[in-house]
Amino acid sequence: MYLITVFGNLFIILAFISDSHLRTPMYFFLSVLSFVDICVTSTSIPKMLVSIQMQSKVISYAGCITQMYFLLLFAGLDDFLLTVMAYDRFVAICHPLHYTVIMKPWLCGLLVLVSGIIIVSLFYCTSLGVYLSSAATHNSHSSATASVMYTVVTPMLNPFIYSLRNKDIKRALKRFF
């Protein structure tokens, strides 16, 4: 599943880079989302696979904090990018004649940038209080299942959902290969 996630999202990025017809805001945001999905899964899955292979659940405190920081950072960025993508589609549908005027390349870059530094501030302001406070009793098996669903399954399905149904991405990948 990890390899499917990485390669599926990497193919979207390569299609965007290699095909000049995909140089639109929608595909720019899709390629950034693919990069963030690779980052989300790469923050936790390799350590999980090593732990399974070695049959050891040990992680250092610094390793845990670092892993949590990057996981929350990229997961939050994922959410903000989906919001930006929704705005892009809103402009394309509701203001099609003004789309190219509104969604300039510098605005697309700015939206991605603003989605980032925002998530960093939200991370520091909210998650420190949540994760440093005492945790209530919870079922660790259901928490692990939910974590795997969010960090593995969703990023793995995004390339299929967002691009394999898209004829432009299919055409770009065929040209690439």
Q: Is the pLDDT of residue 7 over 50?
A: yes
> What is the pLDDT confidence band of residue 6, given thresholds at 50, 70 and 90?
very high
The pLDDT value given to residue 148: 63
> What is the pLDDT confidence band of residue 128, given thresholds at 50, 70 and 90?
low
pLDDT, greater one: 140 or 97: 97
CA dihedral (112, 64, 123, 117) positive or negative = negative
For 31, residues 6+ apart whose C-beta sits below 8 A from its C-beta are: 12, 13, 16, 17
**Residue type present at position 173:** L
The count of domains in the chain is 1
Q: Are 28 and 108 in contact (CB under 8 A)?
A: yes
The residue range of the domain holding 121 is 2-176
pLDDT, greater one: 114 or 3: 3
CATH of residue 111's domain is 1.20.1070.10
Q: Is the pLDDT of residue 134 over 50?
A: no
